């Protein structure tokens, strides 16, 4: 069987038959040369393991490649005569192929980026590009196509001017020649700052902490590294939004910290949470945040507002003063606690008083109290008090949660008044025909109404023997 010229596809296995008959049995030898009429044919090297000579004289070449192209000489000899020989050509047809089936390319938003694909194979080669399954044509003002022809194939370049977010995606370089087709997929990621976090909201409020929730934003095709949260107290007297964030409190969160401490999976999308601590009770805070990737931070979200819950006031009323109005009245005046100590909206005050020395502390059975409603009311008149008595007075503020601490004790006394009871145990005894002794005990101590200065003794004669009454009355004063 005489060998024939052969063409095969690269990568396959080639078998070239060469058989001869004679006696003795001819021996088959294969040689290789540069040209068909060349005299420099050299024996084949079978050491690479790809080239095998079978027992029937056929030449087998595995994984045929371009380097195997050339001229092969099959020679049959049996020692008798000149023998037989035949030169055949081997052509390796190379279908198009790429070194790698896929590539990843990144670019900064606004910059131009060039996507390239290197095609190997026999000419002619046709290349075209697709994006989102749509073919890219030369007449697109933002896309430019160019090609460079090489001995081993072709280079195709796709230039994208001023890349933008919508340019991110999968680009396919499709190549075809007479012997096959292939494609290479390039994933282009146009990198940019991330979008602001999505759906920032307050999901839990305490008196000194709030819990926030948000959804991760578009990452700008660069891995999110973390978030920055800013929050600032908003004065109750102000309206609108915080405009000066220069001195706002800042909380920086890494992605690992967020995911370790506050990642909640929603039904459709991840939910991140974080807790702001160290806040003041009954205070409105404006809160905003941004996301950070490897490019630069995002813009801030629109601010949201959260008001912490109230706590009991932690400061007493100030400038407590007690003024004597009379023998049974005292006037108590005060000023509100410092505003930062209210911990809520003040609803009023509680005035406590007790007789000085009656009890070691307020809040016992010896204490009287009165609730004064209204934060703007700053005085209370205490009535029906004991005359000439010292009283200990304190004032406390209260809000919707409870009563705060009491002010320092202020002691004041009511004015003196007339005694509230007569002397006790009044008795008379004769001393002579013209004198009697009158004796008595002071009124009860709590009914003196002041400091006793003396006594007034009033006496008159009793009825005469004739039954007539003498209306003469005599008064005697006795002073200490």
Do 350 and 438 lie in a common domain? no
Q: Is residue 261 scored above 60 in pLDDT?
A: no
Domain boundary among 135, 163, 191: 191
| Number of domains the chain contains | 5
CATH number at residue 13: 2.60.40.10
Q: Are 219 and 196 in contact (CB under 8 A)?
A: no
pLDDT band at 266 (very low <50, low <70, confident <90, very high): very low
> What DSSP designation does 35 have?
S
**Mean of all residue pLDDT scores within the chain:** 88
Do 203 and 284 lie in a common domain? yes
Do 116 and 169 lie in a common domain? yes
Q: Is residue 264 scored above 60 in pLDDT?
A: no
* Mean pLDDT across 172-177: 97
pLDDT reported for residue 365: 59
* Mean pLDDT across 119-138: 92
**Among 124-128, 189-193, 353-357, which stretch is predicted with the lowest mean pLDDT?**
353-357
Do 398 and 303 lie in a common domain? no
10 Å Cβ neighbour count for 397? 30
- pLDDT (tens digit per residue) in 193-247: 999 999 999 999 999 999 999 999 999 999 999 999 999 998 766 666 777 888 8
Residue 1, in any domain of the structure: no
Nearest to 330, CA basis, from 388, 406, 385: 385
- pLDDT (tens digit per residue) in 296-344: 999 999 999 999 999 999 999 999 999 999 999 999 999 999 999 999 9
Two structure tokens written together for 67: 């380097």
Domain boundary among 307, 328, 349: 307
pLDDT reported for residue 103: 94
d(CA 414, CA 356): 12
Q: Is residue 348 scored above 70 in pLDDT?
A: yes
Q: Are 150 and 124 in contact (CB under 8 A)?
A: no
Residue 313, in any domain of the structure: no
d(CA 57, CA 18): 6
pLDDT reported for residue 478: 58
Task: Give this prediction's pTM.
Answer: 0.69
Do 184 and 205 lie in a common domain? no
d(CA 121, CA 98): 9
Q: Is residue 106 scored above 90 in pLDDT?
A: yes
**Residue 170, strand partner residues:** 187
pLDDT reported for residue 265: 40
pLDDT reported for residue 457: 84
Do 115 and 170 lie in a common domain? yes
Structural domain boundaries enclosing 447: 424-479
Domain boundary among 252, 281, 307: 307
CA atoms within 13 A on the CB side of 188: 28
pLDDT band at 480 (very low <50, low <70, confident <90, very high): low
Residue 326 dihedral angles phi and psi, to the nearest 5°: 175, -170
What percentage of the chain reaches a pLDDT higher than 70? Answer: 90
**Could you give the C-alpha distances from 234 to 207, 213, 241, 245, 250, in angstroms and in order?**
16, 21, 8, 11, 15
Sign for the CA dihedral angle at 38, 44, 48, 53 comes to positive
**Among 121-135, 166-180, 435-449, which stretch is predicted with the lowest mean pLDDT?**
435-449
R_g (Cα) of the chain, nearest Å? 56
Q: Is residue 269 scored above 80 in pLDDT?
A: no
* Mean pLDDT across 2-17: 88
Q: Is residue 359 scored above 80 in pLDDT?
A: no
pLDDT reported for residue 260: 61
Beta strand 42-43 with 27-33: parallel, antiparallel or unpaired? antiparallel
Do 332 and 404 lie in a common domain? yes
């Amino acid at each position: 069987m005489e060998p024939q010229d052969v063409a095969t596809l690269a990568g396959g296995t080639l078998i070239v038959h060469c058989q001869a008959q004679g006696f003795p049995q001819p021996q088959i030898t294969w040689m290789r040369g540069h040209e068909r009429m060349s005299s420099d044919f050299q024996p084949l090297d079978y050491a690479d393991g790809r080239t095998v000579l079978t027992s029937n004289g056929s030449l087998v070449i595995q994984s045929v490649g371009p380097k195997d192209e050339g001229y092969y000489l099959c020679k049959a000899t049996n020692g008798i005569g000149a023998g037989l020989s035949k030169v055949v050509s081997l052509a390796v047809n190379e279908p198009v192929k790429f070194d790698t089936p896929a590539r990843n390319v990144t670019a900064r938003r606004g910059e131009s980026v060039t996507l390239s694909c290197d095609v190997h194979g026999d000419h002619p080669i046709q290349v075209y590009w697709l994006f989102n399954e749509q073919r890219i044509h030369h007449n697109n003002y933002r896309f430019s196509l160019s090609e460079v022809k090489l001995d081993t194939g072709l280079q195709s370049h796709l230039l994208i001017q001023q890349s933008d977010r919508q340019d991110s995606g999968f680009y396919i370089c499709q190549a075809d020649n007479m012997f096959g087709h292939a494609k290479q997929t390039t994933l282009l990621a146009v990198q940019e700052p991330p979008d602001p976090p999505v759906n920032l909201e307050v999901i839990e409020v305490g008196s000194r902490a709030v819990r926030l929730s948000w959804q991760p934003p578009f990452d700008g095709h660069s891995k999110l590294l973390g978030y920055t949260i800013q929050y600032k107290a908003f004065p109750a007297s102000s309206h609108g939004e915080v405009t000066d964030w220069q001195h706002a409190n800042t909380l920086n969160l890494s992605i690992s910290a967020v995911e370790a401490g506050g990642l909640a999976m929603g039904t459709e999308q991840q939910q991140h949470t974080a807790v702001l601590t160290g806040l003041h009770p009954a205070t409105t805070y404006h809160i905003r945040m941004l996301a950070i990737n490897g490019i630069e931070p995002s813009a801030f979200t629109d601010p949201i507002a959260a008001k912490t819950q109230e706590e009991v006031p932690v400061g007493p009323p100030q400038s407590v003063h007690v003024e004597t109005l009379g023998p049974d009245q005292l006037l108590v005046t005060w000023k509100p606690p410092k505003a930062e100590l209210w911990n809520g909206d003040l609803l009023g005050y509680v005035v406590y008083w007790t007789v000085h020395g009656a009890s070691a502390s307020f809040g016992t059975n010896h204490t009287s109290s009165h609730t004064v409603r209204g934060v703007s009311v700053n005085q209370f008149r205490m009535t029906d008090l004991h005359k000439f008595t010292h009283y200990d007075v304190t004032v406390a503020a209260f809000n919707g949660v409870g009563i705060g601490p009491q002010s320092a004790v202020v002691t004041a006394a009511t004015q003196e008044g007339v005694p509230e009871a007569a002397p006790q145990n009044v008795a008379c005894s004769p001393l002579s025909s013209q004198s009697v002794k009158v004796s008595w005990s002071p009124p009860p101590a709590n009914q003196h109404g002041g400091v006793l200065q003396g006594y007034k003794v009033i006496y008159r004669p009793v009825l005469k023997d004739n039954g007539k009454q003498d209306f003469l009355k005599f008064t005697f004063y006795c002073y200490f």
